[in-house]
Amino acid sequence: MDRNSQTSAVNAQRWPTPRARPLALACLLAAAPLTLCAQDDAPRELDQPVMARMLRSGDAKTPSLLLTKSGPQPLDTHEAILDLRITYTVSNIWNPQHNRFDKVKLRSYQSPGTDPSVPFVAPTIVTSPGETVRVRLDNALPPEQCGSSGINVPHCFNSTNLHSHGLWVSPTGNSDNVLLTLRPGVKFEYEYNLPADHPAGTFWYHPHLHGSTALQVSSGMAGALLVRGNRLPSAHRNGDLDTLLRDPGGTPYPERVLLFQQVAYACRGAPTPTDPLGKIKTDPATGAWVCNPDDVGGLEAYDQFGFTADGKNLWNVSGRYTSINGEVLPTFFGLVAGRAERWRLLHAGVRNTINLQLRAVRAGAASIEGLSGTALDGWVTQNCTGPLLPQFEVAADGLSHAQAIEKGENILQPGYRSDALVVFPQGGRYCVIDGAAPPGGSITNAAEDRQLLGLANVAAGSAPPVNDIRAYLTQNLITSAKYLMPEDIRAKVVADLSDRLRLNAFVPHKDITAGEVTGKQELVFDIDTKAVPLEYKVNGKSYDPNSARDLVLGNIEEWTLTSKVGAHPFHIHVNPFQVVSILNPQGVEVSVTGEPGDSQYANTQGTWKDTLFVKPNYKLFVRTRYERYIGEYVLHCHILDHEDQGMMQNVRMLVPDGKGGGIGNAHH
């Protein structure tokens, strides 16, 4: 079997062809006859994001030939090509407030094979270490006149670029270069050369042009980027977790990519001289955003992000729902009790925290049809009554843990990824919910409303109920390790798994010890709340494309991350970092046990990440190695409207003498 056929066969195991979609959530829970179910309720089964149709070397459409003495022979250059077009798309988004679809017109990615009925989620890119991924990006958005109010005023909403979030690749040229600007009408080919030692894991891609990032990402312009690995561990090197997460026969665990998005569309009234876009339509009683049946919602201004004049979080006020893979309130099918699955969770939203919880539905639960807001919260409180189902996180931000972390609450901040092993103990219906954010733990520093994200229908299967999920999962992994791991490492892997699900043989980076550290860096997020408009700052300054933090290739440094005002997810491009310590305002270490009512920092000590939530007046210490790549890139807050308004800083990685690095990128 050739390489492309192998890829297709493996993908078929993880992404089955879409089945005819069953009746929707409200119909499944209703006691009324099925004939009474609304037609619009029907098509919301949770499907996987469509797989990107990528041309690889040797495909009939991209023949690659090498001239030899015996004639032309195929040349496997380990390259994959994806065509990605950006344009306006008109489609529908389900609105539970009114039990109907809202018509919307949003910027979106289009690609061969994209499902036109679910356009606001990008196709999933699948690649492997050592492969070159070429993305032929076509900005087909209409021409625009950009404003000139300043670099940190949102602008140029039809201009764009592309970021491969979390990939360890070059930040310069036509690689992961977010300092490029692609105006409407421009076509450009990105080239991501993944090194042969690139970690396997869950990454993602999205636009990253300063000034338009939040608006484009919140329109649904984001997709999963999966790096699959087949490197077995040995006595001399660590391997890919993918090689363990299989049954004893070698079949990979079933996977689910769950891309969480917060599409902040709104419908507007007639334009006026003082408000050219028109005022957002709202419900007079609740303040929630409304769209009439003949309206077309959109996302064209930054008054759809942030807070109201009286300090309320606009996303919470809007009444919009977090979608999963482009669907609102979908139903999960294909689940079987007692079967371990790998859930790849990606927070591709702009600012609001997601607290993913799984609970069994109470027997005899009433229909949720017609419920929203506090009424839907009440339904969750009354009917999602089972104990929290444990999720065993084996990787964060695409990087495998040294030990599986058991979580009842999986708190995801914007930019986070979590690979979790999930086992449903018995058949039935389960709630998939965004639990109430812990006090002080959400980005808004206020508790979010509880919202139902969807329901999971779990078939009973033939096995008896699983009473101890940890023990069950441990035994399954040990059995697989005995069959699949090489002889020289097998006993160690089994011993590690027996010791609280340790995964030492699969961690992609070595720990950074205090003795290796060659320098220190400090980063402080801040918001000047007295300025009009607000000023968003890193180390006392708003973003300046002509200024940068100079770092030197080969150094190993410890960073201190703090925030004076508000909480912010810190993200840095290219090189990930290892969490060393997290101290609360009283100086108490919280990276091991977490805090009462807030579990998000628990068990983070020693983990590797590329995005980390910084709560106000906390001190977070992380260490990082500057490896392989020179050039200019960025660090920023991953509340993307904060980034667009100045909470970003350029980084210049210099050659080892610290005097230069061939940097010449221009932002605009």
CA 164 to CA 170: how far, in whole Å? 11
Question: What is the per-residue pLDDT across 339-351, written as a single tens digit (0 to 9) for each?
Answer: 999 999 999 999 8
3-233 and 514-654 share one fold: yes
CATH class of 514-654: mainly beta
Three-state secondary structure of 293-331: CCCCEECCCHHHCCECCCCCEHHHHHCCCCEECCECCCE
| Structure confidence at residue 639 as a pLDDT band (50, 70, 90) | very high
Q: What is the pLDDT of residue 461?
A: 79
Average per-residue pLDDT in the chain? 87
Question: What is the per-residue pLDDT across 381-401, written as a single tens digit (0 to 9) for each?
Answer: 889 889 999 999 999 999 999
Residue 627: enclosing H or E segment and its boundaries? none
Q: What is the pLDDT of residue 68?
A: 57
Question: What is the per-residue pLDDT across 266-294, written as a single tens digit (0 to 9) for each?
Answer: 999 999 998 999 999 999 988 889 999 99
Q: Is the peptide bond before 533 cis (omega within 30 degrees of 0)?
A: yes
CATH superfamily of 3-233: Cupredoxins -  blue copper proteins (2.60.40.420)
Whether the per-residue pLDDT at 12 is higher than 60: the answer is: no
Q: What is the pLDDT of residue 97?
A: 79
Q: Across residues 628-654, what is the average pLDDT?
A: 97
Question: What is the per-residue pLDDT across 421-432, written as a single tens digit (0 to 9) for each?
Answer: 999 999 999 999
Tokens representing 484?
A: 């699949």
Q: Across residues 59-83, what is the average pLDDT?
A: 65
| Structure confidence at residue 573 as a pLDDT band (50, 70, 90) | very high
CA 208 to CA 507: how far, in whole Å? 29
Whether the per-residue pLDDT at 184 is higher than 70: the answer is: yes
Rg (CA), the chain: 24
Secondary structure (3-state) at 135: strand
Question: What is the per-residue pLDDT across 241-274, written as a single tens digit (0 to 9) for each?
Answer: 999 999 999 999 999 999 999 999 999 999 999 8
Q: What is the pLDDT of residue 441?
A: 36
275 CB-contact burial (10 Å; exposed 0-12 / middle 13-18 / buried 19+):
middle
Q: How far is CA 646 from CA 114, 150, 348, 576, 642, in A?
A: 34, 10, 20, 22, 6
This prediction has a pTM of: 0.90
Which of the pair, 354 or 148, is modelled with greater confidence? 354
Amino acid at 431: C
Whether the per-residue pLDDT at 133 is higher than 90: the answer is: yes
Whether the per-residue pLDDT at 169 is higher than 80: the answer is: yes
Q: What is the pLDDT of residue 393?
A: 98
**What are the start-end ranges of the E strands in 329-450?**
331-336, 341-347, 354-360, 391-396, 399-407, 410-412, 417-422, 428-434
Instruction: Find all residues with CB under 8 Å of 250, minimum gap 6, and list them.
Output: 483, 484
Q: Residue ranges per domain, the chain?
A: 3-233, 514-654
536 close to 645: Cβ distance less than 8 angstroms = yes
Question: What is the per-residue pLDDT across 185-195, written as a single tens digit (0 to 9) for each?
Answer: 999 999 999 99
Q: What is the pLDDT of residue 378?
A: 74
